Amino acid sequence: SQQGEEDPQALSIQEGENATMNCSYKTSINNLQWYRQNSGRGLVHLILIRSNEREKHSGRLRVTLDTSKKSSSLLITASRAADTASYFCATVHLGSSGSRLTFGEGTQLTVNP
Amino acid sequence: DGGITQSPKYLFRKEGQNVTLSCEQNLNHDAMYWYRQDPGQGLRLIYYSQIVNDFQKGDIAEGYSVSREKKESFPLTVTSAQKNPTAFYLCASTPREGSQETQYFGPGTRLLVL
């Protein structure tokens, strides 16, 4: 399976702290994307990082990509209670058809007020 | 108001029954996807379509069928052959065939078996 793996499966922090989630994958990729899912809802795209990029920022989000280790991390700084959600990484693999994504199993983030 | 809509929000299936989940988008996107999500897990690809009148099986297509007669619509039928259909079903789309861009998701349909 090419499915990515997220680590940790669950993370509980206090408001204002930083949250770091990691993702590993098995085969070479074109790009890696992070999505957020609130309970019982659809996924919302957060950020996309291409295989030739090492770091990307968007507001309070920072994503890094290490293709040599086949891993990525998502950092959320100064977390808020509203950041409570599941976070998924998804990869587009080299040679895959179109924009087919392979999802990890997600990290459940709880931010306590 | 552009986006992807899925209906119904909840769907109940009796044993031996086929049910159809609706997915409509007014984003003018070429490619559409269906995923299944089980509790506490990630998404698994059921079927996808990169262009009208064409679709391909994903990783877990058995017991499901789709059609793509219009660009805007990509309905998913859960057949009686799918023995464990209880799950959360998500539809998504991307702008262009063959692109590697982000996917836009609908709000999902939760299917329950009576």
* Cross-chain Cβ contact B48/A98 below 8 Å: yes
> From the list A40, A100, A106, which residue is nearest B42 (CB)?
A106
- pLDDT of residue A53 exceeding 80: yes
Element spanning B31, H or E: strand B31-37
The distance of B79 to chain A (nearest Cα, Å) reads 23
* Cross-chain Cβ contact B102/A105 below 8 Å: no
Give the separation between CA B52 and CA A111, rounded to whole angstroms. Answer: 43
- pLDDT of residue A37 exceeding 60: yes
CB pairs < 8 Å spanning A and B? 67
pLDDT at B40: 83
Q: If you average pLDDT over every residue of chain B, what do you get?
A: 92
- pLDDT of residue A20 exceeding 50: yes
Q: What is the mean pLDDT of residues A32-42?
A: 95
B61 touches chain A (CB under 8 A): no
* Percent with pLDDT over 70 in chain B: 95
pLDDT at A1: 36
Q: How far is CA B17 from the centre of its chain?
A: 18
Rounded to 5 degrees, φ, ψ at A87 are -120, 130
- pLDDT of residue A54 exceeding 50: yes
Q: How far is CA A80 from the centre of its chain?
A: 17
- pLDDT of residue A6 exceeding 90: no
B106 touches chain A (CB under 8 A): yes
> From the list B92, B97, B108, which residue is nearest A98 (CB)?
B97
8 A C-beta contact, residue A47 and residue A32 = no
8 A C-beta contact, residue A31 and residue A94 = no
Judging contacts by C-beta atoms under 8 Å, the chain A residues touching residue B90 are: 42-43
pLDDT at B95: 86
Max mean pLDDT range (A25-39, A67-81, A88-102): A67-81
The distance of A105 to chain B (nearest Cα, Å) reads 4
pLDDT (tens digit per residue) in B28-76: 999 999 999 998 888 999 999 989 999 999 999 999 999 999 999 999 9
pLDDT at A93: 78
CA distances for A10 relative to A17, B43, B75, angstroms: 15, 17, 34
Q: What is the mean pLDDT of residues B13-19?
A: 90
pLDDT at B113: 87
